[in-house]
Amino acid sequence: MSFSDYKTALVTGASGGIGAAIVERFRRENIEVHAVARSASALEELAARTGCIPHVIDVTDRDALAALAGRVEFDILVNNAGVDRPKKFLEAEDGDIDLLVDVNLRAVLHLCRLIVPGMAARDRGHVVNISSIAGLYNFGGNSTYHATKAAVSMLSNQLRIDTFGKRVRVTEICPGRVATDIFNHVHGDDPSIRERFIDGFELPQAADIAEAIAFAIAAPVAVNIGHMEITPTLQVMGGLQTARPQPGGLGEGRS
């Protein structure tokens, strides 16, 4: 497949950052892009700039997604919408868990349920799941986020099995730190957040992620690029830590 084989795309989380960059990149290929997000003003601006078709929909609104999927046959599905509530699992609240599961996982599952069967029936389609290095590697304070992204990673592999024999390609994109406004959305709109996560770092831009997705989609039909980790050159995953026992812990004060 190449872009010329595809006509329509659905991109969630399209109001800014990586999602908006993907919409812009697809529109340069004359793809009819349906951009989904909650922010009407941001979508209106994106539509005016790119010519995409805006849909003010929360991805947790299953009926609205089903109605859209019932009206349009999508050749490309990009599951990009995501949220995070960083905190240790020992401090997690039920609302945090429900929100992350609903947006990061449940919406992805339902969109795949609504759209992928049509791709298989037409023997043509490409699913792009924006996961995260958090689905593959562990770091502190994001336990529910890690769990949902790991599930998306497994789903991406499973879709290839479930559509075996059909020209439905699946690409999982696992970004590390990218220079977007997501950190303000997650940690609060404060100048110190940008200083903490973006200023002074050499980071990929949202457009770099969009170009990587375009590369996967433009590959020949015989090629499925299944997985990409995209991180800053100066970012690594992993590390080994060993804790000392805490005073009063197991074995302390016993005779």
Catalytic positions are 145
Measured CA to CA, the distance from residue 193 to residue 197 in angstroms comes to 6
Name the residue type at position 43: L
Q: What is the CA radius of gyration of the chain?
A: 20
- 125 is written with which tokens? 């389609």
Which burial class, exposed, middle or buried, applies to 45 when counting CB atoms under 10 A from its CB (0-12, 13-18, 19+)? middle
Kindly give the residue spans of alpha helices, DSSP state H, lying in 16-142: 17-27, 40-50, 62-71, 94-100, 107-122
Measured CA to CA, the distance from residue 136 to residue 159 in angstroms comes to 18
Could you tell me where the beta strands, DSSP code E, fall in 145-239? 168-175, 227-230
Measured CA to CA, the distance from residue 10 to residue 143 in angstroms comes to 29
Measured CA to CA, the distance from residue 13 to residue 83 in angstroms comes to 10
